[in-house]
Amino acid sequence: MQKVYFDASVIIAALLSPSGASAKLVNLVKQGDIVGITSQTVIDEILSHQSKLNKTEQEIFECITTHKILVRNAILLNDIESLAHLMIDKDDAHVFVGAVQTGSDYLVSLDKKHILIPTITAQFPNLHICSPKALLTILYPSSIVRGNV
């Protein structure tokens, strides 16, 4: 089964738009079609945006637990610092560390400015880094065309 590491942007999008590609991916985790993984560091990032989301901490945790997203421990500062020099925004290093350390096949993000760019993705040849929509297209190419995922 494919292991997918979720960036905060994807979980936030799933919380805000239940019909979007991010929510569809989260639902695939709940159905057992893929393994969804994130970290406590990502959860903390989501919680830091809680007031903008208009979601309670309880609603955020319920979304994660109901959809069976696995949450690994917080990313260690030493590990973040080991990759920070590769990043456009060093604050994004934790996402890559989490994806690599969990042996994820995919890292999904909506961050086109700092994560979904060729100079960054090229640094991680064994990790497929893409948007939720792109991953849905990879996993279910014929269903996306029909809008059935």
We report the CATH number of the domain holding residue 80 as 3.40.50.1010
Average pLDDT over the chain reads 92
Asked if pLDDT for residue 3 goes beyond 80, the answer is yes
Residue 22: which residues within 8 A CB-CB, separation 6 or more? Answer: 10, 11, 13, 14, 108, 110, 132
Looking at the DSSP bridge assignments, the partners of residue 126 are none
Looking at the DSSP bridge assignments, the partners of residue 6 are 108
Question: What pLDDT band is residue 143 in, cutting at 50, 70 and 90?
Answer: low
pLDDT per residue as tens digits for the range 89-101: 888 999 999 999 9
pTM over 0.75: yes
Question: What pLDDT band is residue 149 in, cutting at 50, 70 and 90?
Answer: low
Looking at the DSSP bridge assignments, the partners of residue 70 are 37
Asked if pLDDT for residue 107 goes beyond 90, the answer is yes
pLDDT per residue as tens digits for the range 19-68: 999 999 999 999 999 999 999 999 999 999 988 888 999 999 999 999 99
Asked if pLDDT for residue 83 goes beyond 90, the answer is no
**Burial (Cβ within 10 Å: 0-12, 13-18, ≥19) of residue 65:** exposed
How many distinct structural domains can be found in the chain? Answer: 1
Q: Which domain holds residue 98?
A: 3-146
Token pair for residue 89? Answer: 């925004």
